[in-house]
Amino acid sequence: MNQVVFKDLGIKDYKEAWDFQNELFQGIIDIKLANRGRDIEQETPNYFLFTEHPPVYTLGKSGDLSNLLLNQQQLEQKGISFFKSNRGGDITFHGPQQIVGYPILNLESFKPDIRWYMRSLEEVIIRTIAHYGLKGVRSEGETGVWLDVGTPFARKICALGVRTSRWVTMHGFALNVNTNLGYFDHIIPCGIRGKAVTSIEAELNRKIPLEEVKSLILENFEAVFEAELTREVKK
């Protein structure tokens, strides 16, 4: 069973969390490079971070800036930051009462298969929201976890966007729990027109304890990834 070090960063500025991710990500890659040609290899660590970000729009490396519907002045007036990220995917929103998960894993210790990794992240969320009676599903050709796919009411509850290098991952998922969905009105979420965004709160019409959802995610992460979480990483 793979060991994964877990840390909840709390509310953290997007750039600060990105820099910390990158530090851990690069550390794993450095170990893998140093292991080349060694008779006894140094074990690579794995990490899983939780955070909430102050309001921010992030654009993936292949994203279309026209999917951001506000100019710089309007962003400043609304108190929303904007970053171009090196993850996959298009534009999305991060903000309070949304659980952002950043697994930084050496997939060679799990399964070196990006498709398997993405489907596994989705499975963690599908199992988590099932606890609340919500049937999360995948949408063909669109990452993330959705509700009512194949109907006019299809809506995304969790976005995914990752980066990988040498089978090491960073970035991850954003699950809308009690998120203010009004922020999504100012973007074309994930570059997908004609489909809505939702949250657990919006579906159940009640606030959901964030710590409760976090605990469910951790439990399901351990099950899906056949991992054991420990709390040791420092920040």
Spell out the alpha helix ranges (H) of 42-173: 72-78, 114-130
Q: Give me the number of domains the chain comprises.
A: 1
What's 155's domain CATH number? 3.30.930.10
Residue 235 lies in a domain: no
Residue 103 lies in a domain: yes
Residue 78 lies in a domain: yes
- For residue 207, what are the contacts with CB-CB under 8 A and spacing of at least 6? 178, 201
| pLDDT tens profile 215-227 | 999 999 999 999 9
Residue 169 to residues 62, 161, 218, Cα–Cα distance (Å)? 17, 10, 18
Active site residue 158: no
Amino acid letter, residue 17: A
- pLDDT beneath 70: ranges in the chain: 191-192, 194, 233-235
CA-nearest of 144, 148, 85 to 118 is: 144
| Cα angle for residues 148, 54, 202 (degrees, 5° grid) | 25
How many Å apart are CA 117 and CA 109, to the nearest integer?
Answer: 12
pLDDT of residue 233: 65
pLDDT of residue 37: 80
Residue 158 lies in a domain: yes
Residue 133 lies in a domain: yes
Residue 124 lies in a domain: yes
- Asked if residue 61 lies in contact with residue 86, where contact means CB atoms within 8 angstroms, the answer is yes
Residue 161 lies in a domain: yes
Residue 86 lies in a domain: yes
Global confidence as pTM: 0.94
Q: Which of 147, 154, 158, 190 is catalytic?
A: 190
| pLDDT tens profile 136-158 | 999 988 889 999 999 999 999 99
Residue range of the domain that includes 146: 2-230
